[in-house]
Structure 1
Amino acid sequence: MFLPGAGIVRRKPLERHQTLREKILETIRESILKGTLKPGEKVAEPELAERFGISRTPIREAFRQLESEGYLTVIPRKGAVVTELSERDVTEFYAIKSILEGYAARRAAGKLSDRDIERLEQINDKLAQLAEEGDVKTFFKVHGEFHDMFIEAAGNEKLADLIRQVGMKFNRLRIASLSLPGRMQISVEEHKKLIEAFRNHDGEAADHLVSKTAELGGRLLLESMKEQQSGRAHSPMAEAYDL
């Protein structure tokens, strides 16, 4: 576990506060993704305060951030517990993702320049490399850059904000989906088809591809959740973290 070292102690108070907050966020996220912290389990403030050698203020700030990302639920006078995700959460999130991102792709198809498309290809090449390495965490980050690029190109700020807000709330689901066996490779191949649709300025094809890929991600995740509930499979997220 992380212990504050001399290098951190020498930082300015605000810098140290922010650094520790990020460490807390990363520690709790990974504990939930690995399954060390299970749905419904309480996350104790006193233990975290002692482990990191800090007051509870940055811990509570981290809890609020994690609640906004769908990892924790903060209950008044009780504290923070790991949020339980249902099959309904998966179904509803991927339905929204399919509609919103599909529309963004349709709008972006007529606006992306040759240079933009070249950049999308470069990002997807990086994703292919990360998929080969099995690096889910970095893949998730770069995958977001790919989608952000065509979402921003759609030219609708309110749409982009809405997609960002919904995506942030369900980061756990998105990482879980990408952690499924072969899922990253499927994403790379679907991106290749999407890039071709963008190159041809084919908005209808772009919309269809993005919608279909989102629906596939949700369906595969639902199947995985059902297998876990029946005790036939381990958590794909835990496997992605070498557990």
Structure 2
Amino acid sequence: MKLEMDQNEYLPLREVVFRTLRNAIIKGEFMPGERLMEEKIAANLGVSRTPVREAIRMLELEGLVVMIPRKGAEVANITVKDLRDALEVRMALEELSVVLACERIDDEGKKKLLTAGVEFKEAINSKLVPAIVEKDERFHDVIFEASQNQRLITMAMNLREKVYRYRFEYVKVFSYHDKLITEHDEITKAIFRGDKEAAQKIMRKHIYDQEQIVIENTIRENGN
């Protein structure tokens, strides 16, 4: 596997390596349980082992990597407990964001939400999983922005990486894509009507159904 370096001349090398490895993990290029060999990764990226070692430590702090005695670093497994913990928090934040968006969205926010919906459908049609994840994330980000609550937006951003890995898991299920489009459309219409109860109910089901899909896949793949 050839890793694509996340180039940024303004960041320390360890941060660039960290971002590169994190993207590879959350996109499934490194599989749960796979060992991260410092020497091999360093050669792949054309860097020394030092920034790779530092990046792996940073990944461990994020919970994406675990250190196994006498074996070294491994990509952390996705467990049902981790999934539920992350998505319970996400559900609470998303429900609050959609209620506030019903009250506070302005004309510019409505335009952004419509655009995000169209771009999500285009990504679905492309059948490219990274593009679908990006546009799904953008749709939800626009709703957070429409809440006009900066603390809420910051909390959502802090949770982003924890949830991003799970987004890849559920959008890989192509049979679910039409349902995602329908739910996005229903959420948008509820926000435009200012119907807080409907918007919250649809969002709750939207996130809950995603959780169930990833749980089923996780149990099927590794039984945890």
TM-score category, normalised to shorter length: 0.7 to 0.9
Residue 212 in structure 1 maps to residue 205 in structure 2: yes
TM-score computed with the length of structure 2 as normaliser: 0.83
Q: Indicate how the Cα distance of structure 1 residues 70 and 179 shifts in structure 2: closer, same or farther if over 3 A, else same.
A: farther
What CA RMSD, in Å, does the superposition of the two structures yield over aligned residues? 3.0
Supply the distance in 2 between the matched residues of 1:66 and 1:192 (Cα, whole angstroms): 36
Supply the distance in 2 between the matched residues of 1:120 and 1:24 (Cα, whole angstroms): 31
Cα displacement string for residues 150-182 of structure 1 (whole angstroms, at most 9, x for unaligned residues): 112212222222222223123211210121232
2:111 equivalent in structure 1 = 118
Partner AA of 1:63 in structure 2? I
Gapped regions of structure 2 (runs ≥ 5): none
Residue of structure 2 aligned with 1:223, choices 202, 210, 216: 216
Residue 159 in structure 1 maps to residue 187 in structure 2: no
Secondary structure in 1 matching 2:100: helix
Secondary structure in 1 matching 2:66: strand
Moved more, 178-187 or 127-136: 178-187
Residue 91 in structure 1 maps to residue 84 in structure 2: yes
Residue 48 in structure 1 maps to residue 41 in structure 2: yes
Residue 108 in structure 1 maps to residue 96 in structure 2: no
Q: Indicate how the Cα distance of structure 1 residues 221 and 110 shifts in structure 2: closer, same or farther if over 3 A, else same.
A: same
Cα displacement string for residues 39-85 of structure 1 (whole angstroms, at most 9, x for unaligned residues): 33321111111222211233234335544654323569964211112
Aligned length: 220
Supply the distance in 1 between the matched residues of 2:8 and 2:108 (Cα, whole angstroms): 42
Supply the distance in 2 between the matched residues of 1:227 and 1:72 (Cα, whole angstroms): 21
Supply the distance in 2 between the matched residues of 1:76 and 1:199 (Cα, whole angstroms): 54
Would the aligned equivalents of 1:72 and 1:81 in 2 still touch at CA under 8 Å? yes
Cα displacement string for residues 89-119 of structure 1 (whole angstroms, at most 9, x for unaligned residues): 2222222211111011101111112332122
Write out aligned runs for 1:158-177 (5 A): 158-177=151-170
Residue 193 in structure 1 maps to residue 189 in structure 2: no
Residue 133 in structure 1 maps to residue 126 in structure 2: yes
Would the aligned equivalents of 2:87 and 2:163 in 1 still touch at CA under 8 Å? no
Secondary structure in 2 matching 1:85: coil
Supply the distance in 2 between the matched residues of 1:20 and 1:2 (Cα, whole angstroms): 13
Residue 60 in structure 1 maps to residue 53 in structure 2: yes
Gapped regions of structure 1 (runs ≥ 5): 5-10, 231-243
Q: Indicate how the Cα distance of structure 1 residues 107 and 68 shifts in structure 2: closer, same or farther if over 3 A, else same.
A: farther
Partner AA of 1:127 in structure 2? F
Supply the distance in 1 between the matched residues of 2:189 and 2:206 (Cα, whole angstroms): 15
TM-score computed with the length of structure 1 as normaliser: 0.77
Q: Indicate how the Cα distance of structure 1 residues 218 and 200 shifts in structure 2: closer, same or farther if over 3 A, else same.
A: same
Aligned identity (percent) is 25
Would the aligned equivalents of 2:36 and 2:74 in 1 still touch at CA under 8 Å? yes
Report the alpha carbon displacement of residue 192 of structure 1 after superposing the two structures with TM.
0.4
Would the aligned equivalents of 1:109 and 1:201 in 2 still touch at CA under 8 Å? yes
Would the aligned equivalents of 2:18 and 2:56 in 1 still touch at CA under 8 Å? no
Cα displacement string for residues 170-205 of structure 1 (whole angstroms, at most 9, x for unaligned residues): 321121012123233322211100110111111222
Report the alpha carbon displacement of residue 129 of structure 1 after superposing the two structures with TM.
1.4
Partner AA of 1:146 in structure 2? F
